[in-house]
Amino acid sequence: MSAQLVVLAAVFGAASSAFLPRVAHRLAVPFGQPPRAACASCGQDLAAWVRAGRSCRCSRAYAVMLVGALVAALPAAALGSSPLLPIHLLAAVPGLLLALIDVRCLRLPDRLVAVFALVAVVPLAVLRPERIGWALVAGAVVLTAYLMVALLPGGGLGLGDVKLAAVLATMLGFAGWPAVIVGLVVPHLINGPIALAMLLTRRGRVLPLGPALLCGALVAVTTV
């Protein structure tokens, strides 16, 4: 592990994530509605898409930048100078944006999931063409399983969760089935205790699964 590489990756993660709060704020709207033009709390105009730092006067960006730095530093520490590292660093940007939007409005926009798939899966297919078959099988298995749960009454999964889980499983499939299993188990280990605590405290809020799915993938990439 190169300390310099980890620091550079962390700087990249913090710098790129600094531009995400404004985009996330604009895109965190119910399905079918146009991007938000102004903050509902402070009324600040959000017409510009590109803005580093906080999205508006009433928001903070430091936490997002810290998470971005951590999400980029962990793969750098685990993978070192592997050719896989740039792929995961670039994929972290749309991944973090998806997590921010899901936390805000319980939605994972299809176009962003597609961007994440292009950034994360296509380069892996170019680097590891011999593993495409297993990766596609992993994605198909997870897609089928999650879709069945989503179609059950009270299943608690949205179609955005199903699509993101399938993309992440396909990505992890290039690393092997142990990575896919870790990526599937960890999200439920994260959300399970939170859901139980919310149930015990009678807080009836729907829990987003997207951030946990992305955390599970990060754990799989950095540990398996």
Task: Answer yes or no: is 217 within a domain.
Answer: yes
Unique residue bearing structure tokens 């740039």:
86
In angstroms, rounded to a whole number, what is the distance separating the alpha carbons of residues 64 and 13? Answer: 10
Task: Answer yes or no: is 187 within a domain.
Answer: yes
In angstroms, rounded to a whole number, what is the distance separating the alpha carbons of residues 110 and 100? Answer: 15
The Cβ of residue 125 has, within 10 Å, a number of other Cβ atoms equal to 15
Helical residues (DSSP H) of 33-158, grouped into ranges: 62-79, 85-105, 110-127, 132-151
Q: What is the pTM of this model?
A: 0.91
Task: Answer yes or no: is 169 within a domain.
Answer: yes
Task: Answer yes or no: is 95 within a domain.
Answer: no
Report the number of distinct structural domains present in the chain.
1
Task: Answer yes or no: is 57 within a domain.
Answer: no
In angstroms, rounded to a whole number, what is the distance separating the alpha carbons of residues 11 and 173? Answer: 28
Task: Answer yes or no: is 98 within a domain.
Answer: no
Task: Answer yes or no: is 150 within a domain.
Answer: yes
Question: What range does the domain containing 194 cover?
Answer: 123-224
CB 213 within 8 Å of CB 164: yes
Task: Answer yes or no: is 222 within a domain.
Answer: yes
Show pLDDT as tens, one digit a residue, over the chain (224 residues).
Answer: 688 999 999 999 999 999 998 888 888 888 888 888 777 667 676 677 777 666 766 677 788 999 999 999 999 999 998 999 999 999 999 999 999 999 988 899 999 999 999 999 999 999 999 999 999 999 999 999 999 988 888 767 889 999 999 999 999 999 999 999 999 999 989 987 877 776 666 665 678 889 999 999 999 999 98
